[in-house]
Structure 1
């Protein structure tokens, strides 16, 4: 990733929030998948 893009993302709270939500969503999906398999 280019330095400019990284700086832009750091300054963009909406993007950060999106990434955070995406991470939480992926974690939740993984946990659900594990519970489903057990």
Structure 2
């Protein structure tokens, strides 16, 4: 499972970094990480 989770997290972080933090504030990001 970890082999699948890490790439997804890296991609999501990269997308958020490119798009900017305006789309996902800190609370939303933490909620998504908790769901994952």
Query: Any stretches of 5+ residues in structure 1 without a counterpart?
Result: 1-16
Greater helix fraction, Structure 1 or Structure 2: 1
Query: Any stretches of 5+ residues in structure 2 without a counterpart?
Result: 22-36
Highest Rg: 1 or 2?
A: 1
Aligned-residue CA RMSD (Å): 1.6
The TM-score, its normalising length taken from structure 2, stands at 0.53
Identify which of structures 1 and 2 has the higher relative contact order when contacts are C-alpha pairs closer than 8 Å and 6+ apart.
2
Over 6 Å off, 4+ runs: none
